[in-house]
Structure 1
Amino acid sequence: MVRPQYERNVVESAGRGRIFSANGSILVGQADSWNLFAEPKRIDDPKETSSVLAELLAEEAGDRKLIKEEGLRIYSLISESDKSWVPIKKRLTTEVKKRIDEKGLSGIGFDKDEVRKYPEASMAAHLIGFLGKDQDDRNIGYFGLEGYYNETLTSSSGIHKAETDVRGSPILFGISKKSLSYSGTDLNTYIDRGIQLIVEAELRKGVEKYGALSGSVVVMNPKNGGILAMSSYPTYIPETYWEYSNELFLNPVISASFEPGSVFKVVTMAAALDLGVVGPDTRCDACSGPLTVGGYQIHTWNDQYYPNSTMTDVIVHSDNVGMSYVAKKLGIEKNVEYLDKFGIGRKTEIDLQGETNAALRSLKNWSEVDLVTSSFGQGIAVTPIQLLSAINVIANDGLFVKPVVVKEFVIGDKAYMSNNRDQGIRIISEKASHEVKLMMVEAAKYGESKWTYKQGFGVAGKTGTAQIPIAGHYDEEKTVASFIGFAPHYDPKFIMLVTLREPKSSPWASETAAPMWYKIAEKLFLHFGIIPEK
């Protein structure tokens, strides 16, 4: 008598790589999950099997109507005996699997699946991303680290092929083949859990307090570009990503372009100082009133004018006319050259999926009006991460470092440093950097946000209130408020950018983004052990 034989393939999954904070806490981990399947040809009693499974799988235990519906659904799948394999239900817990195993049902089996666990719920959601499915129902990372490092994190599944009899039992001397499974690579990040928690809490409070549509905060190590914290609000919970709209998945820090406004003035000033066309004490001979350029009048933000201002005064007063004077000294060609050096118009290449870029117009398309308005952050677009990276050149003694989230890749018990670390690229001289730093210190002390200044911590900072362009004109009420700063200016331990979109309590950054920046910074001073100078 010839015994009928079957081949059974069992997928053996290894774990997807985990993601850790710099402190060693788990940002993203793994949990066992099981996909239930049936092999109809091996099921003795489809009706009884359906009934037993329905009792264990119904979402509301004890709800007879739901149990009956679940039983009918399962029966419709497993009663078709011409099929060799059918899926029943995905993402079952180990506890449910154990209860089903105890029933000893023939023709019922499980495949192990990858399920991500996020111990901190929504913390750093935009930075982390989530694990979803592709069109072929395979696991794939989307957005953030999960998307950017999908191949690195992905495990390699093994397959065990074995000949079985009609009841699914292995044949003793049957053919058996097995391929090994491999776990995905773990990621150690620069994210400081303590700082991230501070940022998340204060960002939410700030958005609610100032009535903003949204907001974001990013904190970076000025020396190596390591991202210490990154958060945007509103946010979502990666573990249940399907409950949220797609718009929430985009990370505004790397994907939302905006006109930066006055915060950008320090970039233009840095370029002019590096080129030597102005110095800190150069006097502006055009600062006594509005300036006409190409048929347009340039005004200061508050229509107050300061004749014979020094370049430091121009930054302290956030003077648009003074910046127009600087831009004209710089010239179109050199201005565009320095914008490119500072990374404006190019992606930073941060290791997060979803970074976008607003390209700079070509040199031939620049007019004198474009030149002067770009000097105070209008008519030019950046993402928050581009702006942070550009102004970090000033904090980092004139060197550009690429922002980066992942510090190390861990395979087994060995850690390998991320290969995108460098010593930085010289953009401006150390002298020019020092000069702009001191200007930013003066702006923090005596500028429009001076009331928020914390004495003794050596903060260098600048506000930016950018009107939002709508239908060909700027809306005076709708703004993006921002504040960027680093401390202490002589040896910065952190650089931080705060942005608030359309704050309703006040359109001005000095009354919204600046106090929020200092609220976070107070806690960072303690975190980094920055002691106030007497």
Structure 2
Amino acid sequence: MEKRLGFVLIFFLGIFLLILVKLFYWQVLSSDSLGGLAEKQRLSTIPIKAARGRILASDGSSLVINKRAYGVYLEPKKIDDKDKIISVLSKELELPSSSISANLSNSSLFWIPVAHKVDEEKVEDLKKFNLKGLTFMDEQKRFYPESSMAAHLLGFVGKNAKGEDQGYFGVEGYYDEQLSGRDGVLMQDQDALGNPILSGNRQNIPAEDGRDLILYIDKTIQYIVESKLKEGIEKYGAKGGSVIVMDPSTGGILALAAYPAYDPGIFSKFPSEYYKNPTIASFYEPGSTFKVLVMAAAINEGKVTAGKKFNEDGPVEIGGYTINTWNQKYHGEITLSQVLEYSSNVGMVFVEKQLDKNVFLRYIKDLGFGNLTGADLQEESTPQLRPANKWYEIDYATASFGQGIATTPLQMIAAVSAIANGGKLMEPHVVKSIKLADGKMINTAPKVKKIIYSKETTSVLKEMMVSAVDKGETRFLKPAGFRIAGKTGTAQIPISGHYDTEKTIASFVGFAPVDKPKFLMLVTIREPTASPWGSETAAPIFFSVAREIFPYLKISATD
């Protein structure tokens, strides 16, 4: 009997000890987490979304703004007709009824999100059904008033892995943090059913709206560029193309267009490959437009002059390879200015040979090739330059006329800016200023990356480029009376270690007025079928744009 009583005593003593241990765990070890859980049950937390910053053109007009929209939510405990609410939402919001039903089956939820960024018109339609348990919350939706205009430059807003708004590509992606602002939160006491206690505690941390961006983009020039590019792509049967217009004195991008384009407001309806901006992420060989940079280097080093004579008497042999002129024509003794007029590959090999190999490579690197431009656009990439010990005689020769060396359109136009503005390599920039919440403006100062050429050198090159336009293949395209500096380019497309003779990238780069340029423009056309030549595809697009922006920028025939 005593033995049995001992067992009972030990049993109850064990239970008592377990209770003590559990109490110690709850009250001491887990007090913080339990307190936090109690706080969560007591407090209702409602996020306050910050308004995303606007994106404005140089004149202050809207390129991207926010439009009023709504989040659609369900409160399961208030629903009196589950089947009807599933049917209405599925039909009106074009959602699978199975997903709505699955969410409603989770009885632990007080608040179920159904859809976000629903237009005001659609919400008004839903309200007419008088559905109990259906509620709406204010949101904002990104709105692009000009539809697809400047899509590749602007980018778009999508959802990240957490389901949150995030900018992708272009300015939306690059400046996402500044545009997003900082969300706020409203915390208030709630009862056991999740209803707010009006006399309870309430704390409001206000949202900090995103900053507005004012771009260098000129909407008039952007519209002209986009319409002329699309027209040219269709006319010349090309796969695609791009146009960049820059102010060479600041590096500011006045217009940027690429085709095919997409509408950032409904980006998901377009192929994802359209999102990439080819002016900063697609590589190409610049062809003869590169000649002006090499010629400028040789003149800058004092190795040649514009009037220096060269005997173009036939093809040139380099390391077992034969280099011809583009049209198999040879002009005998010509000046180096005529080398650009005739766009002579053979003449450029002569110019390249006047330069020390290390100096040649130094200019290429100093001009930014092989490095990012630093432009404020998301997803910029760059082709890499080969190491110096991997350059052979033939590589220097072909690079002199823009083959065997890759670049992006933005790198190329930035490099030519060093000729247009008197020698300075400018960093391309899209955003001109940032407007803070208090109205204060932060201006973006133009950035000179490096002085490449002397003013004397660029003055000579400008006249050589004017001569190339006036006497070269584009002489019949130029508006009468205007002085325009420019150069055509045609480069074959490399495929699997060789060049496709049927496919080219055609281009034209130019600027005006010549002495103090108000714009610098690069046109690139990918795989035109009507003609492979830059003089017959890219150049006509350049001059059609120029004709319209001359009066707009008040450039006269005497400039």
TM range (shorter): over 0.9
Q: Choose from 333, 342, 345 the match for 2:367.
A: 342
CA deviation after TM superposition for structure 1 residue 403, in Å: 0.7
CA deviation after TM superposition for structure 1 residue 179, in Å: 1.3
Pairing 1:25–2:61 present: yes
Answer yes or no: is the 8 Å Cα contact 1:272–1:326 preserved in 2. yes
Larger radius of gyration: 2
Q: Choose from 251, 257, 266 the match for 1:225.
A: 251
Report what 1:63 is aligned to. none
Q: Choose from 330, 334, 347 the match for 1:322.
A: 347
Gaps of 5+ in 2: 1-40
SS of the counterpart of 1:353?
A: coil
Amino acid at match of 1:9: T
Report what 1:532 is aligned to. 557
Q: Choose from 423, 430, 440 the match for 1:405.
A: 430
Amino acid at match of 1:501: R
Report what 1:268 is aligned to. 294
In structure 2, distance between residues paired with 1:415 and 1:197? 30
Partner deviation per Cα, 1:38-79 (whole Å, 9 max, x = no partner): 343xx23x342552574366238xxxxx89x74x75454334
Answer yes or no: is the 8 Å Cα contact 2:418–2:424 preserved in 1. yes
Answer yes or no: is the 8 Å Cα contact 2:300–2:453 preserved in 1. yes
Q: 1:39 to 1:162 in 2, by over 3 A?
A: farther
Partner deviation per Cα, 1:70-107 (whole Å, 9 max, x = no partner): 4x754543343223332222222234445666877665
Gaps of 5+ in 1: 61-65
Superposition map of 1:433-472 within 5 A: 433-472=458-497
Report the aligned-residue RMSD. Answer: 2.2
Report what 2:84 is aligned to. 51
In structure 1, distance between residues paired with 2:257 and 2:315? 39
Partner deviation per Cα, 1:383-426 (whole Å, 9 max, x = no partner): 00011011111001111111100000001353433445235631
SS of the counterpart of 2:432?
A: strand
Q: Choose from 497, 504, 513 the match for 2:538.
A: 513
Report what 1:430 is aligned to. 455
In structure 1, distance between residues paired with 2:61 and 2:444? 23
SS of the counterpart of 1:409?
A: strand
Pairing 1:120–2:156 present: no
In structure 2, distance between residues paired with 1:78 and 1:476? 62
Amino acid at match of 1:22: S
Report what 2:280 is aligned to. 254
Equivalenced residue count is 520
Q: Choose from 35, 40, 44 the match for 1:8.
A: 44
In structure 1, distance between residues paired with 2:284 and 2:401? 13
Report what 2:241 is aligned to. 215
In structure 2, distance between residues paired with 1:7 and 1:111? 19
Pairing 1:503–2:554 present: no
In structure 2, distance between residues paired with 1:7 and 1:152? 30
Answer yes or no: is the 8 Å Cα contact 2:50–2:180 preserved in 1. no
Pairing 1:132–2:158 present: yes
Answer yes or no: is the 8 Å Cα contact 2:46–2:185 preserved in 1. yes
SS of the counterpart of 1:171?
A: coil
In structure 1, distance between residues paired with 2:397 and 2:134? 72
SS of the counterpart of 1:330?
A: coil
Partner deviation per Cα, 1:470-500 (whole Å, 9 max, x = no partner): 2322222210000000011111110001111
SS of the counterpart of 1:439?
A: helix
Answer yes or no: is the 8 Å Cα contact 2:210–2:437 preserved in 1. no
Superposition map of 1:364-375 within 5 A: 364-375=389-400
Partner deviation per Cα, 1:346-399 (whole Å, 9 max, x = no partner): 111110001110111111111111111100001000100011011111001111
CA deviation after TM superposition for structure 1 residue 530, in Å: 1.0
In structure 2, distance between residues paired with 1:368 and 1:112? 66
In structure 1, distance between residues paired with 2:382 and 2:44? 50
In structure 1, distance between residues paired with 2:68 and 2:90? 17
CA deviation after TM superposition for structure 1 residue 294, in Å: 1.1
CA deviation after TM superposition for structure 1 residue 310, in Å: 1.1
Q: Choose from 348, 373, 387 the match for 1:362.
A: 387
Relative to structure 2, which stretch is displaced further, 466-475 or 150-159?
Answer: 466-475
In structure 1, distance between residues paired with 2:182 and 2:384? 39
Q: 1:57 to 1:8 in 2, by over 3 A?
A: farther
Report what 1:164 is aligned to. 190
Q: 1:470 to 1:103 in 2, by over 3 A?
A: closer
Relative to structure 2, which stretch is displaced further, 208-217 or 360-369?
Answer: 360-369
TM-score, normalisation: structure 2:
0.88
Pairing 1:312–2:337 present: yes
Answer yes or no: is the 8 Å Cα contact 2:366–2:450 preserved in 1. no
In structure 2, distance between residues paired with 1:126 and 1:355? 12
